[in-house]
Copies of this chain bind each other. A is one copy, B any other.
Amino acid sequence: MMQKITMLDVAKAANVSKSTVSQYINKRYEYMGEETRKKIKEAIDTLGYQPNYLARSLKQKRTSMIGIIVANIMHRFSTEVIRAIEDYCHSQDIHAIICNADDDPDKEKKYINMLKAKQVDGLILFPTGANTSLYEQMIKEEYPVVIMDRKIHDVKGKIPSVVANNQEATKQAILHLLELGHKHIAIITEPLTITPRIERVEGYKEALTSANMPVNESMIINCKKADMQKALEKLFAADNPPTALLAGNDLVFIEVQKFIKQHGFNIPNDLSLIVYDNIPYADVATPAVTTISQPAFDMGTKAADLLIKQILKEKIAYEEYQYECELIIRETTLSH
């Protein structure tokens, strides 16, 4: 490996001191002689000097890096949020390190500690919810954090969070199906371990109740993806099978599609379908998929903004920032 060029090398070559080179690097030209400036520039160019941000960060106690700990990177929603965060951060010359926690509290803990050890300036967290003491500790340390997607009741008012209004969006979606004349509407989600899923099921119930329809528990499936085929079998083998189905997220939708394809269902004639979450081919698929779209880009940008404001010690409200979702009616929903 070629010997690394340091600031001292530049200083020697330009016949000035380290500090003067440092001034130059940091563009503090005000009190710098034209001559000196030129000498330094030349030295830098001929030596091919590149500053070491690591050393700078150590001194300045600021790395210009943030960490993102995402629950499951395979969700389209996560990808879009991350993309938005990155765009915003890059515009501010901040780098993001992304970690995938796989909804595993141990991994989450490991990553939080590792990122803090790396001295990242702050954290955006899709929390598992199972590391309350860690969250509390970060609050005590006044470590900049933003919570994303899931609500953590214990830290309310202490850590700002960016969430969707899942309940209302689901309610509206189900109301739409009711308006179309559907009497038997099912919902399928993964296990109710995090708030968005709970809220979506709540919204489902609220819609039925508000329309004076009975809530039939057999129409509510909450199980792991691996068990969904069996659950769907059972659902559609029952006496009054659903004529409409809400898939709780994009990955659940794949399971539903698999089932539908295997059983030769015709969508939307045999079954109306709504998917919670953006899916990339919703528009151009045949039939185009009716979805509930989360404003992922806005949410990601907001989270980045809230984090950076905290890092810069600007005032923010430590509250829940809630975003409305949009029901985009396409071709998989039909009146019954």
Contacts and interface: CB of A to CB of B under 8 A. Distances in A.
A140 interface: yes
Nearest to A287: B286
A2 B139 CA distance: 10
A95 B117 contact: no
Interface string A61-89: 00101000000010000010001001000
A181 interface: no
A54 B62 CA distance: 10
A50 B116 contact: yes
By DSSP majority rule, is chain A's interface helix, strand, loop, or mixed? mixed
A97 B100 contact: no
Contacts of A96: 97-98
A57 interface: yes
Chain A's interface size range is 35 or more
A237 interface: no
Interface stretch (A169-177, A254-262, A293-301): A254-262
A51 interface: yes
A27 to B, nearest CB: 15
Contact of A285 (B63, B79, B285): B285
A92 interface: no
Contacts of A63: 54
11 contacts: A1-B142, A51-B117, A52-B117, A54-B54, A79-B79, A86-B98, A95-B118, A257-B281, A258-B283, A279-B281, A281-B285
